[in-house]
Amino acid sequence: MDASGRAGRGLMTAMSMDGADGLRRVRKVAETLDESQRLERGPEYRVDLERIRFSPYFSRMSAVTQVISQSGAGLAVHNRLTHTVKVTAVARAIAVSLAADTGERGQVVARLGGCDPVVVQAAASAHDLGHPPFGHLGEQTLDRLARDRFGLEEGFEGNAQSFRILTRLDEYDRAGAGLNLTAAVRAAVLKYPWDRAEGDRWSGGAERPRGLTPRVPGEGAPKFSAYTLDLDDFEEARAAYPAIAARQQTVECSVMDIADDIAYSLHDLDDFYRASLLGHAAVSTEFRTWRAERVALSQLPAATLAATSRAPGRGLEALRRRLLAKDAWIAQDDAFGDSVARIQEDVVDGLLAVPFDGSLDADRALAVFMSGWVSRLQRSIIVMEEPPIRSGHVSLDTAAWHDVAVLKFLQERFVLHRPDLAVYQRGQASVIERLVEALAAWLDDPRDVHRAPRRLLDLVGLAELDYREAAIGLDLSRDRVHALAIGRGVIDYIASLTDAQARALAGLVSGSSERLWDGGQVL
């Protein structure tokens, strides 16, 4: 793609600045800050943070599923916004510690481009903007439909969608510049710094960065941070960090990523404990059986382990093997065993042994538990100038890394695999499928397309402009460009809805809703 247009303006601005920090502050379009903004320390990054937090896409996250839907759970659980707020708090604490470090750790951070706490806050605030209705289930459904229904080879990916929102879909005060964020913040949201095709282009050996291994050859990377349409912004942002290797996160992005892991492993545990979804007896049996039969389980053939996967102890054994196979750079048998013992004592036989009864005492006990674990994990940060390929420059130490892995397993094993949740999610997938088909048919109707939602038509128009630019030098006909634009526009539109908006709109387009004007508010 010819990136000389939008990217070039930012690079021209950078040429007039001194040093690497000037590159970090580059925007797509040069801006002059007003007097009140210039009085602040680090005003450029503070402007970025405020633009993200004042964005309607940010507000929308309060009504988007994190793991389990609020409407389906029947109680107050974390949504994308509350999760994001907590990720931001954890990330800021880590960033402040690194920025204030005057020792070797701080020197390494400085050589790699720095770690500004406000940049980290902005990245943490933006990292989930692109997640569609219904959590990861919605993401998987949109990815499948984008490929199969519209022929979009890159499908849909929440991280790439977040970057597209920041740089293209959510406009601040001018067309074509997105929120016009600094390169530092744009780079800090690139959690998987490559495009989808990199999963098939990879020639660096058997060991790959996390998220780069294709599930099926020819399908590209399952995790990536930029669509081809947005690679100019991607490349400009990455150019501000010459010390960061290709396919490696910036330090600020790495801090955000670690904070996301910490928050996910603990705050979803908070939800499931309050909802009484983590039965103490079943969880305790899993942990006790693995510890008691650890040697015997380690000798089970892989086929036998898979065939008896629901038996007690098998889940933890499968996790141990998976960690050792994928992350030999840090995974250790002894550290895994220590983590299982620690979580059994503190979480399983400590927290979960006392059912949550909704009392003030229960709230206080849970708050103390969460605060203690978050603080411990925040203090377990290490910095590596030349990290292993599957790690960022910032990582958890060995003990904390294993703790997070075991905590995630606890939720996956005892909540995410529940049949009742699976039934509910299949219903949510059907909502998205109906929306895709109905909106695509509407846009293909020349007699009625003019009455389609204005936002949908705008998003198709943006996508068409982007595909025309991408088509330069490629053999793409005008009809093909238009078809791709309709697909991307529909996907962009549905991904911008809340859970409730998606349900209401699906009811309208299927003719089953009798609340016309209330439903119409989603358009």
Q: 448-476: per-residue pLDDT in tens?
A: 999 999 999 999 999 999 999 887 767 78
* DSSP assignment letter at 397: -
Q: What is the three-class DSSP state of 459?
A: helix
Rounded-to-10 torsion of CA 74, 76, 81, 82: -150
State the DSSP code for 25: T
Q: pLDDT tens digits for 81-136?
A: 989 999 999 999 999 999 999 999 999 999 999 999 999 999 999 999 999 998 88
Task: Name the residue with tokens 């996967």.
Answer: 309
Q: Among all chains, which residue has been given the structure tokens 């990292």?
A: 127
Burial category of 259 from C-beta neighbours within 10 Å (exposed 0-12, middle 13-18, buried 19 and up): buried
Tell me 350's DSSP state.
Answer: I
381-383 vs 394-396, strand pairing mode: antiparallel
Counts for the chain of helices (H) and strands (E), in that order: 27, 2
Which residue, 495, 403, 395, 28, is CA-closest to 233? Answer: 28
> How high does pLDDT run on average in the chain?
88
Other CB atoms within 10 Å distance of the CB of residue 86: 22
> Among candidates 246, 213, 191, 254, which has minimal Cα distance to 393?
254
Contact 381, 94 (CB under 8 A): yes
Is the Cβ–Cβ distance between 389 and 207 less than 8 Å? yes
Nearest-5° Cα angle at 22, 21 to 26: 115
Residue numbers of the chain with a pLDDT score lower than 70: 1-20, 35-42, 66-77, 418-425, 473, 512-523
Alpha-carbon dihedral of residues 213, 120, 237, 459, nearest 10 degrees? 80
User: 191, 249 in Cβ contact below 8 A?
Assistant: yes
Asked if 186 and 163 touch (Cβ cutoff 8 Å), the reply is: yes
| Cβ-proximal residues to 204 (8 Å cutoff; 6+ apart), any chain | 389
Q: Based on the number of CB atoms within 10 Å of its own CB, is 231 exposed (0-12), middle (13-18) or buried (19 or more)? A: middle
* Alpha-carbon span 474 to 358, nearest angstrom: 61
**Cβ-based neighbour number of residue 469 at 10 Å:** 16
Alpha-carbon distance of 284 to 275, in angstroms, equals: 18
Supply the pTM of this predicted model: 0.91
Closest to 497 measured CA to CA, from 451, 442, 450, 435: 435
Q: Residues in the chain, how many?
A: 523
- Mapped onto helix, strand or coil, the DSSP state of residue 168 is helix
Question: For residue 381, what are the β-bridge partners?
Answer: 396
Looking at 365-518, which runs of residues are DSSP E strands? Answer: 381-383, 394-396
- CA 103 → CA 100, 109, 114, 398, distances in Å? 9, 10, 14, 21
Please list, in sequence order, all residues whose beta carbon lies within 8 angstroms of the beta carbon of residue 390, skipping any fewer than 6 positions away: 207, 208, 209, 210, 326, 327, 329
Q: Which two tokens stand for residue 48?
A: 């970025």
| pLDDT at residue 1 in the model | 37
Are residues 199 and 222 in contact, defined by beta-carbon separation less than 8 angstroms?
A: yes
pLDDT of residue 507: 86
Nearest-angstrom CA–CA distance, 368 and 366: 5
Q: What DSSP line would sit under 374-387, residue for residue?
A: HHHHHTTEEE-SS-
What phi-psi label fits residue 506: left (phi over 0), alpha (psi between -120 and 50 degrees) or beta?
alpha
